[in-house]
Structure 1
Amino acid sequence: MINWSSPFERLRPRMNDIIGDGGILKEVVQPGEGPPVPENASVLIHYSGFLEYSDQPFETTTHLKYPQMMKLGRDVTLAGLELGLLTMKKGEFSRFLLQPQYAYGEMGCPPFIPTAAVVLYEVQILDYLDSGQVDDFITMSLEQQNTVPMSTLLEVVNTLRSFGNRFFNQNRYYNAKDREHRVI
């Protein structure tokens, strides 16, 4: 018997509906460890996006030696990808099948993404930092910063130091210097 279904249709039964409307389906290929990525985190990920019937990604970060740290709510532009990242854990590798309303919409993104395209993203969470508290601290006035509990201040400093160390290890010295300056 010949199976006439499309590659994405064959993938769907192995996937879980993560928001309940069928718009974002997820398959965990390799489980991660620890808690899921928190809102407002900064994530270090490798990802590749595919159109159906295509073996080559239309976008990928897998060729980068040091993938960019992406801030949720700011740097991740696809709603479906951001919602999917919030279900992942450190070290996890998953696939997400995104319907157009959670990806590139009805218009697509010519010439690479056709209209109303369903896309597949393969994502691996290499690491994340819970940077929401840092963001909140930085937006405070100096007077407000001086009133935060010492435990909060230490968490902010440790997160900023982690960013600085990561940039230093990637030979991104300007970024490392900026983070260490904020620590001081």
Structure 2
Amino acid sequence: MLKLKNSIMNKLIAFGLLIVLASCSLLKSDGLKKNHEYVSESGLKYTIYEQNPKALKVDSGDVIYVHYVGSLEDSTIFDSSYDRNQPLKFQVGVGKVIKGWDEGLTYLHKGDSALFVIPANIAYGERAVGKIPANSTLRFVVKVVDIKKPIKPWNVEGKKRIYLDDSLSYVIVEKGEGEAAKTGDRVQMQYSGYFTDWKKFDSSYDNGEKPFEVILGRHRVIIGWDKGIVGMKVGEKRRLYIPYPLAYGEKGRMPIPPKSDLIFDVELVNLESINYPKFDLEGKDTVLMDNGVKYIVGKKTDGKKVKPHDVVSIAYVGKFLDGGVFDASYDRKDSLTFEVAAGKVIKGLDYGMLEMRVGEQVRFIIPYKLAYGESGREPVIPAKSDLIFDVDLLSKKDVKVTL
């Protein structure tokens, strides 16, 4: 009798395993029925309307393009990508959208459409967001328009590693063409950043972002980038090995832990040399003001003279005494507007503006005590730095001062 029971039990266990295996097989083959409502463990309800099981499937980490219509349970529509004639683009599984979307979209393929009924706990919860009341169950009809798989580390096997100063090194993965990037150039980059264990912490490719734009040598990026991108040509792909002192240093910066050596795969997409206006200063007198500021008028006009509290707009280039540029309004393709003698800029520039007329071009040489002082402003301005400003006064507005 005991043997019979054991035999029956073994058969039941075997039968159960077959059911489990069959279920796993069904899931792996994406054997979901059209127009059938499924409910996941999280409470997400999903019904697939259009199905393309042979197409690329959505996975966590993919960048996808999705059209959608969002509505409340009473069918009130609160948002629609169709109204904007543009699908929503985002990376799946990294918290860019509500949890119900991050889960539900992984059941779909490119070209699939579905209905998601998302309970509040995996939507916006107790928060009211725009037209969505707190604790709302949401309905989304979604269509996956396109899928882009996350980029992987480039293959550099057999390629030479080149070492620069400060332990910075790089590998040229693919050669580019044209002029080489230099300090002061505006560059556009695509990139992926990795820790030394190859865990990815950021990627412009994966995020579906436009190329990252920066002017080299302006301390707008880590030192390893400012140095490592110099010499690249458009179309070039380069792997940078950046020691932590040239990255985010001893303290780090979220999500970068302290003392983290980093690896970047970077591609130079575009390169633009920035040409600043050259002031005609040859043979012109240098005037020393009582406060220590020196100035040279390159272009003189009969325009209105600046008074205290006037609001002026200027184009400028800021330089060190060796000619190295640290800032320029031309970099941003914009002008700087501020109130004169109101503490909005360094003292030396405030003093200098009072010597200018609209339309004039003047070079100011400002002693460090009237600039950024004894301490400077690291990492851009070193301590005790005398500075040069080439200033073009574009316009001014008289401001009435009420007594």
Q: TM range, normalised to the smaller chain?
A: 0.5 to 0.7
Residue pair 1:39, 1:132 contacting (<8 A) in 2 also: no
TM-score, structure 1 normalization: 0.62
Match of 1:138 in 2: 192
Instruction: Kindly report which structure 2 residues correspond to 1:37-48, keeping only aligned pairs within 5 A, or say none.
Output: 37-48=58-69
Q: Which has the higher contact order (CA 8 A, sep 6+)?
A: 1
Match of 1:80 in 2: 100
Could you tell me how far 1:63 is from its partner in structure 2? Answer: 2.2
Task: Sort the Cα spacing of 1:51 and 1:140 in 2 relative to 1 into closer, same or farther, 3 A.
Answer: same
Could you tell me how far 1:88 is from its partner in structure 2? Answer: 0.7
Number of residue pairs matched by the alignment: 140
AA in 2 matched with 1:82: D
Task: Sort the Cα spacing of 1:176 and 1:16 in 2 relative to 1 into closer, same or farther, 3 A.
Answer: same
2:116 aligned to which of 67, 71, 96 = 96
Structure 1 segments (4+ residues) deviating >3 Å: 73-76, 180-184
SS at match of 1:82: helix
Residue pair 1:41, 1:132 contacting (<8 A) in 2 also: no
Could you tell me how far 1:58 is from its partner in structure 2? Answer: 0.7
Match of 1:148 in 2: none
Decide which structure has greater helix share.
1
Gaps of 5+ in 1: 1-12, 146-155, 168-174
2:37 equivalent to 1:15: yes
The structure with more radius of gyration:
2
Task: Sort the Cα spacing of 1:115 and 1:66 in 2 relative to 1 into closer, same or farther, 3 A.
Answer: closer
Instruction: Kindly report which structure 2 residues correspond to 1:1-184, keeping only aligned pairs within 5 A, or say none.
Output: 14-17=36-39, 19-21=40-42, 23-32=43-52, 33-54=54-75, 56-74=76-94, 76-105=96-125, 107-110=126-129, 112-131=131-150, 133=152, 138-140=192-194, 175=210, 182-184=266-268
AA in 1 matched with 2:79: E
Task: Sort the Cα spacing of 1:47 and 1:100 in 2 relative to 1 into closer, same or farther, 3 A.
Answer: same
TM-score, structure 2 normalization: 0.31
Match of 1:149 in 2: none
Residue pair 1:37, 1:87 contacting (<8 A) in 2 also: yes
Task: Sort the Cα spacing of 1:64 and 1:110 in 2 relative to 1 into closer, same or farther, 3 A.
Answer: closer
Match of 1:7 in 2: none
| Cα deviations by residue, 1:96-141 (Å, 9 ceiling, x for unpaired) | 0011111111x1325522222111011100001011536xx81137
Match of 2:327 in 1: none
Could you tell me how far 1:176 is from its partner in structure 2? Answer: 6.4
Match of 1:152 in 2: none
**1:110 & 1:68 partners in 2: Cα distance?**
18
Percent identity between matched residues is 17
The CA RMSD measured in Å over matched residues stands at 3.2
**1:102 & 1:177 partners in 2: Cα distance?**
33
Gaps of 5+ in 2: 1-34, 154-190, 214-234, 237-265, 269-403
AA in 1 matched with 2:58: V
SS at match of 1:62: helix
Could you tell me how far 1:30 is from its partner in structure 2? Answer: 1.0
AA in 2 matched with 1:53: D
Task: Sort the Cα spacing of 1:75 and 1:44 in 2 relative to 1 into closer, same or farther, 3 A.
Answer: farther
Residue pair 1:46, 1:124 contacting (<8 A) in 2 also: yes
AA in 1 matched with 2:192: I
Moved more, 34-43 or 63-72: 63-72
Match of 2:389 in 1: none
**1:100 & 1:43 partners in 2: Cα distance?**
24
Could you tell me how far 1:31 is from its partner in structure 2? Answer: 1.0
**1:124 & 1:85 partners in 2: Cα distance?**
9
